[in-house]
């Protein structure tokens, strides 16, 4: 190699670090037809080494995967063929699950715990229980004092549930359930969650992040329940859920949101269906002690019903008086995480 060639190579390395990172990604393939290294998604996840390793891209062929995923590994991406093409599906009612299990680990279609730095892209993740069961069902329940329980079709039905996980990124994903808590990324300590171009549907509190969350250009569809969105920011005053350019629609009179723990909502340039109720994001009667006053902020939202929509531009009331044009993922997560680089 000539001295001039060495200079060109060194220059390319200096100006294009993203190319180096991309080249270092290991690519695995999941194919039900046996055209990849794995035939199930779980077997690919289980093959990931614990601890530090190169970022792994797991490409999932189109198909319906009747799998319940348990994830405790970090540093990888699950990439499907597109919404409605790669479908991960289960039918689980939380009430029934808790008749045989002492906690919620395994209650969702996708269960995540004690990990970080995971991407989900071009996927449908669903819990079909409420779509399949139209009536309440009485079941034996060894963990209930009555020894039986009525399982409702609109009860809690998690498609996604995370516990002590952070830096989770979701792009072009569809989270689908009929009941509550469809999309439940929970981690009040240091949970950071990023959603873009996603569709979420379900019942009460079907999008209920705990910690820091940012959603952009997402669509929220209410099937039933007393509120679509919910937030828990009770551990840190700075914790917040931010929704930018998102659309809300659902059954006639659906409510936007609620909270019963310390919460902080920012809705920027969001769009509300004309059949949404005129009920503002409200506090549920609770025995919880709230450390901070109501923190619900809107800017340049449109739609809703009535001559005087409940939402108004009140961003100036937020702590630090943030400007709408500066509210983005970097503003939410600060220097702790840049999801655009993950």
pLDDT means over runs of 10, the chain (342 residues): 41 35 76 96 97 95 98 98 98 97 97 98 98 97 92 98 98 98 98 98 98 98 98 98 98 98 98 96 96 97 90 95 96 95 91
Which pTM does this prediction carry? 0.92
**What is the structure's pLDDT at 307?**
80
Residue 132 to residues 91, 136, 141, 178: CA-CA distances in angstroms?
8, 11, 21, 9
Which residue in the block uniquely carries the two structure tokens 């659906």? 254
Q: Kindly report the number of other CB atoms within 10 A of residue 125's CB atom.
A: 28
Residue 2 forms part of a structural domain? no
pLDDT of residue 284: 96
Tokens of 324: 């709408």
Residue pair 72/114 in contact by the 8 Å Cβ criterion: yes
pLDDT at 14: 36
Give Cα separations from 240 to 51, 229, 234 (angstroms). 29, 13, 10
Is residue 9 one of the residues assigned to a domain? no
β-strands 241-244, 265-268 pairing: parallel
Alpha-carbon distances, residue 295 vs 165, 246, 249, 266, 299 (angstroms):
25, 19, 23, 8, 13
Q: What pLDDT is attached to residue 24?
A: 62
Sign of the torsion angle spanned by Cα atoms 76, 81, 83, 84: negative
10: in domain: no
Q: What is the pLDDT of residue 250?
A: 98
CATH number for the domain that contains residue 33: 2.160.20.10
Closest to 74 in 3D by CA, of 141, 167, 3 = 167
Write the secondary structure of 124-180 as one string of H (helix), E (strand) and C (coil): EEEECHHHHCCCCEEEECCCCCCCEEEECCCCECCCEEECCEEEEEEEEEEEECCCE
> Quick one: pLDDT at residue 19?
33
Rounded distance between C-alpha atoms, residue 103 and residue 6, angstroms = 58
In a domain, 37, yes or no: yes
Residue 43 phi, psi dihedral angles, 5° rounding? -65, -35
3-state secondary structure of 189: coil
In a domain, 4, yes or no: no
| 3-state SS assignment for residue 97 | helix
- 3-state class of 5 per DSSP? helix
**DSSP β-ladder status, 137-140 and 148-151:** antiparallel
What are the residues facing 126 on neighbouring strands?
89, 176
| Residue 11 belongs to some domain of the structure | no
Q: Residue 269 is part of which domain span?
A: 16-341
Number of domains in the chain: 1
Helix then strand then coil, in percent of the chain rounded to 5, is: 15, 35, 50
Residue 132 lies inside a defined structural domain of this protein: yes
Q: Which two tokens stand for residue 287?
A: 């025995």
In a domain, 1, yes or no: no
What pLDDT does 308 receive? 83
The reported pLDDT for the residue numbered 243 is 98
pLDDT at residue 127 in the model: 98
| C-alpha angle 21-212-202 in degrees, rounded to nearest 5 | 100
């Amino acid at each position: 190699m000539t001295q001039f060639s060495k200079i060109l190579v060194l220059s390319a390395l200096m100006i294009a670090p993203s190319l180096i990172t991309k080249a270092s990604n290991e690519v695995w393939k999941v194919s039900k037809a046996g055209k990849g290294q794995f035939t199930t998604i779980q077997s690919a996840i289980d093959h990931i080494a614990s601890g530090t390793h190169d970022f792994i891209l797991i490409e999932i062929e189109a198909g319906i995967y009747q799998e319940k995923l348990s994830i405790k590994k970090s540093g990888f991406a699950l990439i499907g063929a597109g919404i409605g093409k790669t479908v991960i599906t289960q039918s689980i009612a939380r009430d029934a699950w808790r008749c045989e299990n002492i906690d919620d680990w395994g209650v969702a279609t996708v269960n995540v715990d004690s990990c970080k730095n995971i991407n989900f892209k071009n996927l449908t993740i669903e819990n079909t229980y409420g779509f399949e069961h139209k009536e309440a069902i009485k079941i034996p329940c060894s963990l209930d004092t009555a020894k039986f329980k009525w399982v409702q079709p609109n009860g809690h039905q998690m498609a996604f549930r995370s516990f002590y996980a952070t830096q989770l990124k979701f792009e072009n994903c569809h989270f689908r359930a009929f009941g509550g808590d469809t999309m439940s990324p929970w981690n009040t300590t240091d949970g950071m969650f990023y959603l873009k171009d996603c569709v979420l549907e379900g019942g009460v509190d079907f999008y209920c992040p705990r910690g820091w969350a940012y959603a952009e250009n997402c669509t929220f569809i209410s099937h039933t329940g007393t509120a679509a969105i919910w937030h828990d920011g009770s551990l840190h005053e700075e914790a917040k859920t931010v929704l930018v350019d998102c659309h809300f629609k659902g059954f006639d009179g659906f409510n936007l949101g609620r909270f019963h723990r310390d919460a902080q909502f920012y809705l920027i340039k969001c769009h509300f269906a004309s059949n949404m109720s005129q009920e503002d994001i409200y506090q549920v009667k609770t025995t919880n002690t709230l450390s901070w006053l109501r923190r619900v902020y809107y800017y340049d939202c449109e739609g809703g019903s009535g001559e005087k929509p409940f939402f108004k531009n009140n961003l100036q009331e937020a702590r630090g008086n943030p400007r709408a044009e500066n509210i983005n993922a970097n503003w939410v997560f600060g220097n702790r995480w840049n999801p655009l680089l993950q």
